[in-house]
Amino acid sequence: MNTALLDIQNYAKTFHLHERDKFIPSASHVNLSVYPGKLTALIGPTGAGKSSVLKGVYRTYLPSAGHILFRTAAGEIVDLAQADEHRILELRKTEIGFVTQFLHCLPRKSALDVVAEPLFARGVPTEEARGRAADLLAQLAVPAHLWNVPPATFSGGEKQRVNLARGLIAQPRLLLLDEPTASLDPATTERVVAHIETLKDTGIAMLAIFHHPDLVKRLADDVIELSPPVAIVEPEEEIA
């Protein structure tokens, strides 16, 4: 039996709206495991807390409860719900990648450098990093004439492919994917699906959210369904 790379136990995230002194739950009682070479899919309606789980693992959000046990390359178990910032930044650089729903990047950086950035951060020499970025952009069918242009003016689908390439380039051991194909045309979606399949073969563990149930069927080894947490609202504050 394969040992889990990631083991989430009773994860919950609640937001405190200070100005109204209200607590808004975004995910609760989440339990799941992710294995090397396998993909675990999170499903559930909008607002069920799917993105909140990924953001808790990547520590964009500090979890409110539970354990997020990650097994490092060195074989150590780190609780991502409690690890210090320094440790989290180090793991993001080397072991955990996140493809968010939207591309966030500096406006003047070329697509090639946006994609190569995670390799620069690891100390890979500039030309080698750009070479690997070019290979990946070619695989994802981003036209070569765009590689030296900042992605700010790209179409939604082009931006998303740059975003994916950036998340994939450093070959993290754990990859978090938040609707990576949401703005792609069918042909590009197929390329991305094929790429995710090859990633599985290389042993990467993935925790992913897909817009289309078909993709869940094709790619997921495990499916975890989340239901929206019940909000605690005072009766007089209820909005009909």
Q: Which residues bind ligand ADP (CB under 6 A)?
A: 15, 24, 26, 44, 46-52
Q: How far is the CB of 46 from ligand ADP (least distance, A)?
A: 4
Is residue 11 within a helix (H) or strand (E), and if so which, with residue range? Answer: strand 6-17
Question: Do residues 228 and 49 touch, judged by C-beta distance below 8 A?
Answer: yes
**Beta-strand pair 174-178/96-99:** parallel
Give the CB-nearest residue to ligand ADP: 26
**Residue 51, interface with Mg ion (CB under 5 A)?**
yes
> Interface with Mg ion by CB under 5 A: which range of 43-51, 75-83, 118-126, 127-135?
43-51
Residue reference for tokens 């909140």: 52
Residue reference for tokens 């995710």: 196
**Residue 52, interface with Mg ion (CB under 5 A)?**
no
Closer residue to Mg ion, CB minimum distance, 45 or 203: 45
Q: How far is the CB of 221 from ligand ADP (least distance, A)?
A: 20
What type of residue sits at position 7?
D
Q: How far is the CB of 231 from ligand ADP (least distance, A)?
A: 8
Closer residue to ligand ADP, CB minimum distance, 118 or 181: 181
Q: Distance of CA 192 to CAs 77, 157, 161, 187, Å?
A: 31, 12, 9, 9
Q: How far is the CB of 50 from Mg ion (least distance, A)?
A: 5
Half-sphere exposure of 9 (CA within 13 A, CB side): 7
Is residue 111 within a helix (H) or strand (E), and if so which, with residue range? Answer: helix 111-121
* Per-residue binding letters, 125-144, with Mg ion (x by CB under 5 A): --------------------
Q: How far is the CB of 49 from ligand ADP (least distance, A)?
A: 4
Closer residue to ligand ADP, CB minimum distance, 200 or 211: 211
Question: Do residues 169 and 118 touch, judged by C-beta distance below 8 A?
Answer: yes
> Interface with Mg ion by CB under 5 A: which range of 47-55, 159-167, 182-190, 223-231?
47-55
> Interface with Mg ion by CB under 5 A: which range of 25-33, 44-52, 146-154, 167-175?
44-52
What type of residue sits at position 96?
I
Looking at the DSSP bridge assignments, the partners of residue 77 are 71
Q: How far is the CB of 194 from Mg ion (least distance, A)?
A: 24
- CA dihedral (194, 98, 223, 25) positive or negative: negative
Question: Do residues 141 and 134 touch, judged by C-beta distance below 8 A?
Answer: no
Looking at the DSSP bridge assignments, the partners of residue 65 are 12
User: Which one of ligand ADP, Mg ion, none is in contact with 131 (Cβ closer than 5 to 8 A by kind)?
Assistant: none
User: Which one of ligand ADP, Mg ion, none is in contact with 100 (Cβ closer than 5 to 8 A by kind)?
Assistant: none
Binding site for Mg ion (CB under 5 A): 51
